[in-house]
Structure 1
């Protein structure tokens, strides 16, 4: 698929985009747009420091592996609320996330962010697509990611094909932490992601959840922070699938295999409830 790229002079206004998202509730088609958005974005040191604190990352001079998602969030919002995008943003479900760090992300003060959507596929509950994000510096691609998103109620021809991540290694407990009742609001402040299902029990119940749930990308970021001493700084792919949501507040336990160039991990709650599974591998 050939992408027609549109370059923006500055980041979009999140306030305006949330208004568009709130007023868009219907599925309008089954074809993804062939346009993408690009913008040069400057890293804000204060926002980065706040993100590190909320997610548990040490200040080691490198961008946290998940931080480019924060740089890209406004562009992603603009793409997913555009009239050419057929699905309503509110109600999309984040099924999985795969990031690839191609070079060490040290000294990154300004970078070009690119976002596009692709790979529309049938799913047992609707249809999935990939939200693809890329971070470039003056030397080329630095980081890239695919977020698999589900839109319920979409009807597509074909048989669903689902990739399932499963560990083949022995996992042991390496960390546990509390996901406090306000972590959704804390993460929203540093990410810009104010999805109501994460903010409070009252707002979450409007969308069918009995209580607020943690952001999936906070779960992934907090996990990577806990594993940071074992993960390579570059030439690594870190993939996760989100299973049962982390209801707030709750305690979670991180299980992982031995350190190395490859490894598996699992985030579980009380009663061995599986919240997230994942692995890290060298970039092929």
Structure 2
């Protein structure tokens, strides 16, 4: 498909984007637009420092592998709330995320981001699409992210693929942490993701959750920070499947393979709740 790119000087304000998201509650089509957005976005030192503290990354002179997602988030919001985008933002479910760090993320002031949606597929509960985000510096592609999103209630032709859950073998505990009741609000303040399901029990109940739940990207970032000694500085992929949500507050346990070019991880909660399965590999 030939993609039509729109180059922006800057994304719209988050306030206007969230107002646009709140005004759309129904599916308005069954195909993805052929448009994409591009924009140069600069890292903000104070925000980067706050993100490191929030997700337990050390300051080693490089961007955390998940931080370009935070930089690109307003651009992603603008794509997903565009007039030509057929699915309402509120209600999308984040099923899977993969980041690829192709080269070291050091010495970065700004990056040129490109965001588009692709790969619409039937699913047992509706349909899924991939939100693709790519970041370039002066030398070319540096970082890539694939976020798979579920659109509940979407009717798609074809058979929904059955993806077998890849349960890892026995893994040793690598870390554990407590997700307190306000982590959703603190993550939103730093990263700009003010989805109501993360902010309070009252706002989460409006969308069918009995309690607020932690952001999946916070859990992924915490896992990546805890496993920083297992992975190289670059040339790796790190992916997770988001399974049962982490209800707030709760304690979770991260287990992982030994350090190496490839490995597996899992995030468990109390009562045999499996929150997240993941893996890393060498590119």
Quick check: TM above 0.5?
Answer: yes
On the 8 A contact 2:32/2:85 being kept in 1, the answer is yes
Moved over 2 A (4+): 162-165, 167-170
In structure 2, C-alpha distance between the alignment counterparts of 1:43 and 1:166, rounded to whole Å: 36
Pairing 1:1-284 to 2, within 5 Å after superposition: 1-283=1-283
What is the CA–CA distance in structure 2 between the aligned matches of 1:153 and 1:28, rounded to whole Å?
Answer: 12
How many residues are aligned here? 283
Tell me, in whole angstroms, the C-alpha distance in 2 between the residues paired with 1:89 and 1:157. Answer: 22
Segments of structure 1 that go 5 or more residues without pairing to the other structure are none
**Aligned-pair CA distance for 1:12:** 1.7
Alpha-carbon contact 1:179-1:248 (below 8 Å) kept: yes
Distance 1:249 1:28 in 2: 36
TM-score with structure 1 setting the length: 0.98
Structure-2 separation of matches of 1:165 and 1:117? 24
Give the distance between the partners of 1:210 and 1:111, measured in 2 at CA.
Answer: 39
| Contact in 2 for aligned 1:66/1:221 (Cα 8 Å) | yes
| 1-structure distance, mates of 2:231, 2:58 | 14
Q: Name the SS of the counterpart of 2:36 in structure 1.
A: strand
> Cα deviations across residues 127-160 of structure 1 (Å, max 9, x unaligned)?
0000000010000000001000000000011111
C-alpha distance in structure 2 between counterparts of 1:127 and 1:34, whole Å: 18
How far is the alpha carbon of 1:271 from its aligned partner?
2.1
In structure 1, distance between residues paired with 2:165 and 2:145 = 17
Q: Is the 8 A contact 1:95 1:242 kept in 2?
A: yes
Residues 123 and 161 in structure 2, CA contact (< 8 A), matched pair in contact too: yes
Q: Measured at CA, do residues 164 and 69 of structure 1 come closer, stay the same or move farther in structure 2, by a change above 3 Å?
A: farther
CA RMSD of aligned residues (A): 0.9
SS in 1 for 2:72: helix
Q: Tell me the secondary structure at the aligned position of residue 229 of structure 1.
A: helix
The 3-state SS of whatever aligns with 2:230 is: coil
Task: Give me the TM-score of the superposition, normalised by structure 2.
Answer: 0.98
Distance in 1 between residues matched to 2:54 and 2:151, nearest whole Å: 29
- Provide structure 2 residue ranges, at least 5 long, that are not aligned to the other structure: none
Q: Deviation per CA, 1:89-123, whole angstroms, max 9, x where unpaired?
A: 00000000011110010011111011000000000
In the alignment, the residues of structure 1 paired with residue 11 and residue 58 of structure 2 have an alpha-carbon distance, to the nearest angstrom, of 27
CA–CA separation in structure 1 for the residues paired with 2:164 and 2:137: 33
Change (3 A) 1:248 1:168: closer
CA distance in structure 1 between the aligned counterparts of 2:162 and 2:234, rounded to whole angstroms: 28
CA distance in 1, matches of 2:71, 2:222: 18
